[in-house]
Structure 1
């Protein structure tokens, strides 16, 4: 079996485990694909070629020696460049961080991937300091959408989505504060998972907004998404918000599909400003699941506004010294948002944090009646590179500020969400959020698998 014939993470791991393929051949084929096309796509900022080949050799030796083998044996992957990678500066999409000393150890989730047998190919482009929805980086260039390179890959995990959508790697890791996994997954026609806040440790990653930051994977199939999520789980005391939860292996759970789950569709706020294609995608998903009931998520607009306040306040506080020392080294758009955040009254931040408890209780009431709620992942499909505005409710509004209108209220209270692509033949994809109660990633992935089986992501 040739490496070029292997596309999925599970497929690669099985072939390498059986000896039908070598991890080194798989890694070399992936590196060749990156060399051939990433100049057009812009997914990678750093390629860890020597490390990848060394890790692949170690995988092959372990297999040949009959040693215990991990579930991601020989699977190539890459990470958003806010993950610490030994020997690389942790850029976090910035010019400033690129001048800092290289990381002396891998981020914890990178360590877990390596322990599972995965092979790291490099670090991926992202919006500066993760404050972005477009994937257009002023320092390293845009991450382009492999489905149409004239369009955005989305942000801030744009490189993470582009690398998977281009076929460079079957899985990647990103982060999501206000929608930075879900929006790129939607634009690039991928599956993404934003787990419950506190489910996966953020140890060894560069922060954006500590009280909203999540980490999670991208994949081209739900089975691969579950496979990598299972590897990433586990408590770590170094991240104070990482919860002590049992590790729940979901690779087998997805086969259950939607059976027994109560599914509703978000209405009101979540239908008001989406373009017709986004609503059609949501309706297709609802129909495939026989989800006829519509629910109103109360005060969603306030939740989005509060998320903005918290993001601005915490982000600006984190970067205040950099803003004072080297303001010209920021992307001007990012710098101006941080400067605005630095001037927010403390009382507004406190009120926004208090409202989290109110909104959390309202969502808990909804999940007493429903197991899963569907909503759009973004109001549009992928915009054009360089586009500055989108039409929302018949008005042209700033693109960056409004691309997360449907994701921000959900991450505001840390709910788990799977992003599922819905695509009509010949069209760009849209994304649907599959939202569940805290710690019910199994519900997200079961419904995502049912939608995948319904064939809604036709090319």
Structure 2
């Protein structure tokens, strides 16, 4: 199949025009307008494309090779941070561990410094918009307990006393889980599994990070809690929907974050903010305690300053919890071969027309990443072009239908509580037919089988993470923002397939464009082979010059 991408035909709309457009979509005459919108965007050939004999189920993901170096999650985390010393300007997990061990600083001092900094960053006209909820006194109590353990030589793990931020899509006991809305304020009584694992490891949860409302857009502008500002240039977006988590890590406030990814929502902001983000295999990290917004394509996962940080957090978060059905039947997670920089025999799958369908600076930096991998011994294998129209509509139908259903009780009562961009997407989700959703689920099954066949001949597929670096925030449209499907498509072009199929994908910084904004490269692997993605990510990272953003906080000194 020759590479083809249909142009986005929807207009860019904001302000009164956007309000009128949304009101029309939600009115009695909305159905024909919605049908024209989706038809103009290419849904008709998708509806007519046969999925063959695929049933409407997730194709069973193959288990992958077992670990050759079996270790406990705690041992894996230690191994990850010991793999390489970080430069002094990067306050990685390893830097925290060494500073605590050597007595240079303690978690209480770190917590106080961070809260003082955040009190400045999160107020006034210069507000960065990174957090929705913080509880400084609670964090200070956790830091005091951590400091006592460290003094006694009994840390809970290498993450003991290390600050981490959690996206406000994950339940943390005692905090409301707003999902970025203005109406959902239930205080969680129990930690989500990932939050419980963070607490058990001794990590300091700084608070709940701002996010795109219900995670329904990849831009990162929240009409209720404010736009999250990019630490590289506060006039630019962070991407979404894990926007606050990415910005907090990029700014140096903590080396670790937890995000969620239903359509690139970890990888997109990781790329635009110059950090590392991992969407693990579907079910690899339990979703228990994460409100079900898009259960067929959603993933919760680690974000970090470096690949080693993400590897350490992945080691702690992954593995079944006995409650998440999807997470139960999987091989043990591991970091086999993680430190090996020799990539001889590794095959990189690339479809060059697809790879090059991005801004010139993005393509150039991602080609630098490919060169780093081939210099280390990997070889490039050309692969067929993806069917982008099928991927787009299959993913859009599934995620928007599921989000529309999850929000249906509230949209029936007070749809005006949602921002205009959310209302647009929810209206499209409600417009899809039952037959569309079954059709999409069958295509998901078929696309997974086809991708497995492609990956029998390669070890990873490499593309840019996003087709553009971070666009400028449309300041005049705030707080509501705008509907800009051209930008949304450029941000999501390379990420949808990983959510649809459940395959793991890692975004790693690959350098910067001419404006100094970060560029990310994406590595997508076979199911349950996160260890290989992390290994290759370290090679790319080692070859990429380190820079620090305009907003750069230090907590250890």
> Following the alignment from structure 2 to structure 1, what is the Cα–Cα distance between the partners of residues 361 and 338?
28
Alignment of 1:112-261 (within 5 A): 112-250=197-335, 253-257=337-341, 259-261=343-345
Match for residue 350 of structure 2?
Answer: 266
Preserved contact between residue 194 and residue 215 of structure 1 (Cα < 8 Å): yes
Unaligned runs of 5+ in 2: 1-87, 478-483, 549-557
Unaligned runs of 5+ in 1: 390-395
Q: Deviations over 1:59-82 (max 9, x none)?
A: 112223343531201100110011
Q: Deviations over 1:216-248 (max 9, x none)?
A: 111111111111111112202322211333443
Are 2:135 and 1:54 equivalent residues in the alignment? no
Match for residue 452 of structure 1?
Answer: 541
Cα–Cα, structure 1 residues 388 and 430, in superposed 2: closer, same or farther, change >3 Å? farther
Match for residue 504 of structure 2?
Answer: 416
Are 2:348 and 1:348 equivalent residues in the alignment? no
Cα–Cα, structure 1 residues 451 and 22, in superposed 2: closer, same or farther, change >3 Å? same
> Following the alignment from structure 1 to structure 2, what is the Cα–Cα distance between the partners of residues 5 and 292?
34
Aligned pair count reads 447
Match for residue 521 of structure 2?
Answer: 432
Match for residue 160 of structure 2?
Answer: 73
> Following the alignment from structure 1 to structure 2, what is the Cα–Cα distance between the partners of residues 311 and 204?
19
1:410 positional shift: 2.0
TM-score (norm 2): 0.76
Preserved contact between residue 349 and residue 459 of structure 2 (Cα < 8 Å): no
Q: Deviations over 1:61-118 (max 9, x none)?
A: 22233435312011001100111122221000001213xx311122111110111111
Match for residue 287 of structure 1?
Answer: 371
1:284 positional shift: 1.1
TM-score (norm 1): 0.92
Which residue, out of 430, 443, 450, partners 1:362?
A: 450
Which residue, out of 64, 83, 87, partners 2:174?
A: 87
> Following the alignment from structure 2 to structure 1, what is the Cα–Cα distance between the partners of residues 233 and 277?
19
SS at 1:412 equivalent: helix
SS at 1:82 equivalent: coil
1:436 positional shift: 0.5
SS at 2:458 equivalent: coil
Are 2:193 and 1:104 equivalent residues in the alignment? no
**341-350 or 259-268: bigger deviation:** 259-268
Structure of higher CA gyration radius: 2
SS at 2:235 equivalent: strand
Q: Deviations over 1:152-183 (max 9, x none)?
A: 01100000100011111111100001100111
Structure scoring higher RCO (CA < 8 A, sep ≥ 6) equals: 2
Runs of 4+ with >4 A deviation: 456-459
SS at 2:509 equivalent: strand
Cα–Cα, structure 1 residues 192 and 261, in superposed 2: closer, same or farther, change >3 Å? farther
Are 2:110 and 1:23 equivalent residues in the alignment? no
Preserved contact between residue 157 and residue 180 of structure 1 (Cα < 8 Å): yes
Preserved contact between residue 258 and residue 289 of structure 1 (Cα < 8 Å): no
Preserved contact between residue 145 and residue 152 of structure 1 (Cα < 8 Å): yes
> Following the alignment from structure 2 to structure 1, what is the Cα–Cα distance between the partners of residues 344 and 283?
27
> Following the alignment from structure 1 to structure 2, what is the Cα–Cα distance between the partners of residues 128 and 121?
21
SS at 1:355 equivalent: helix
